[in-house]
Amino acid sequence: MPRYERYQDYLFRDGRFVGEFEEMYRDFADPWHQTSTEQFASEKAVGLNLLNRLAERAGVRRVIEIGCGFGHYTARIAASGFDVLGIDVSPTAIETARSRHADVKFAVAGIDDRRLLLDYRPDIVVMAEVTWYVLDMLSTFVSFLRDDLPQAYVLHLLTTYPPGVQRYGTEFFTDLAGIKAFFGMRYLESGEVHGRGSSRTWFLGTWRPEAEDQWHSVV
């Protein structure tokens, strides 16, 4: 019997982030509808296209997805020919991911597992709908990427909400422009899809001016 009626209550309560991910995954079979609908969201298709274009233009192949959940998006990235590792802080989520995608690599780890990230040396870091849950570590993580993994591109996908709807994280950002200003990268492409009561945003960013020049110089 779930402790809470909604899976969201394991993440936010009384306007505060609590982040009980393991308990949520134990009590709910498909949080965020990631198995049924979320993996096919419009910005995720855009993200796959950007990854494939990046592989073609820059020859990159090593990808790490942070907060992979059940690994459906990780598996779609792997199916495109990438050497991808999906990580999540929930052992239950990773156990499910491994059972559903036996040919894909997964590990129990979080955004603060710097040694894993340094050892893996990803060409691309994918953050798909995870950023709202790591805001307390986001500033130091962005600095870590810039200083210790400057060669890595970042594919960032995040749903945002209009004024009056968003109640958490407003001091960080509320829209795509704010997200891009926070990360402070050079953006190869960015955009958003507007839906009912929310917008799905994306960007593909780099720290290196030469990588930006390469992206835009190829027709």
pLDDT tens-digit readout, 159-189: 999 887 888 888 999 999 999 999 999 999 9
pLDDT tens-digit readout, 190-204: 999 988 888 999 999
Q: Would you say residue 49 has pLDDT above 80?
A: yes
Give pTM, 2 decimals. 0.95
Compute the mean pLDDT over every residue in the chain, rounded to the nearest whole number. 93
Domain ranges of the chain: 33-217
Assigned CATH topology for domain 33-217: Rossmann fold (3.40.50)
Which residue has better confidence, 104 or 165?
104
Which residue has better confidence, 2 or 122?
122
Q: Would you say residue 149 has pLDDT above 90?
A: yes
> Which residue has 């050892």 as its token pair?
119
pLDDT of residue 195: 83
pLDDT of residue 102: 97
pLDDT tens-digit readout, 50-92: 999 999 999 999 999 999 999 999 999 999 999 999 999 999 9
pLDDT of residue 10: 87
What is the DSSP code (8-state) at residue 103?
T
CA distance 67 to 71: 9
Question: φ and ψ at 21, to 5 degrees?
Answer: -65, -45
Q: Would you say residue 219 has pLDDT above 60?
A: no
pLDDT tens-digit readout, 4-32: 788 888 888 877 888 889 998 999 899 88
